[in-house]
Amino acid sequence: MKGLSRDRLWSIAVLLPSILLLAVFVYGFIARTVYVSLTDWGNDPAQALALDPIIRWVGLANYQELFTGFLQGRFRQELVNTIFFTLFFILGCLGLGLGLALVLDRNPRGEGLWRTIFLFPMSLSFIVTGTIWRWMLQPQGGVNQFPNAVGLPAGQFSWLSSTDAVWKFDWNALPLITASVVGLVLILLAVRAARAGDRTRAIVSGLCAALLLGWALFIGPNVRLLPAPELHGFNLALIGIIIAAVWQMSGYTMALYLAGLRGIPEELREAAKVDGASDFGMYRHVIFPLLAPITLSAMIILGHISLKIFDLVYAMTGPDNTYTSVPALNMYLTSFRQNQFALGAAIGTILLILVAFVIVPYLTSSFRGEEGHA
């Protein structure tokens, strides 16, 4: 072809198969899933597995059913479970991983052995981790029997089968809570923009925050998603799953933080000591700020893992424990056990949107950073 060098033609020929496969098997299937979520495929059991099913366009009816339908309380509890699981999973992995990295950074005896021990759980699959921890958290054995070793009575906590919940709230208050949280975030962004001298961004963020908070004060309390109160909260049975997930992934964050600590020039630490900084001051004003990009990267990776969590929950509590279930598990059951393909596709699309909220800003920031350094 005229205008294309031989090297460029070879590049196109090598990349084209991958581009076509991605277009069909990734983005094509995503588009197909979104389309199916806007139909009624599977709502009629007689048509679900028919060779030529009658499929009707229903718009956003499946999404409305998930968020306001009388029979979809399980999905709403799963969303709440996912939020709490993500929050505590990320905090646990970051805190434990940073602590282990700080200890290993002081070059203790047998550092290589300890590093291998801490990293080993990461090599296991979530199914293996779930099976191990399910045995350890049995009500009549495992962790509950530890107090017997020091002469105390055995524990009675139902790690994986508890039905107790804390921090309950009415699902009808969800729009009010969401508007309030987003409004407060916008206020923080407006303050930061004002301090940075970006007047336009500060004004836009401030106006949006005022509108949201005004809506939350005067209109939000009158919005009702359900005809009756429906309480959701943090189920205590999730604690065991969070512990198992943190045990598996904290070694990963430890490795990230340890690499970051080893990459900080010794001259910076010496300069901080010469300026009179204590150990605490050096970590607070020198080391932790330098580790901020690693923390952000770890949060993004752990966040998208937690949003898609499936196998660990399946292995630890099974598919039918509604107190510990997550949207990915519900999507599997809805699509392949109940054959409600449209409703399952709607759950998958919601998961995709949640993951996009985590991944897209990070990718955009990384792309702009690379453009700035180019």
Average pLDDT on 275-285 reads: 86
pLDDT of residue 151: 84
Q: Is 253 exposed, middle or buried (0-12, 13-18, 19+ CB in 10 A)?
A: buried
What's the pLDDT tens digit per position in 88-135? 999 999 999 999 999 999 888 888 899 999 999 998 999 999 999 999
Give which of 252, 245, 257 is closest to 98, Cα–Cα: 257
Q: For residue 114, give every residue at least 6 positions away whose Cβ sits within 8 Å of its Cβ, in sequence order, or none.
A: 104, 108
DSSP string, 160-195: TT---EEEEEEGGGHHHHHHHHHHHHHHHHHHHHHH
Entry pTM: 0.88
Q: Do residues 212 and 186 touch, judged by C-beta distance below 8 A?
A: yes
- At 2, the pLDDT band (50, 70, 90 cuts) reads low
Specify the residue for token string 């923080």. 188
pLDDT of residue 159: 86
CA 134/CA 241 separation, integer angstroms: 9
C-alpha torsion sign, points 209, 210, 211, 212: positive
What end-to-end distance do the CA atoms of the chain give, in Å? 30
CA 305/CA 252 separation, integer angstroms: 13
| Average pLDDT score over the chain | 89
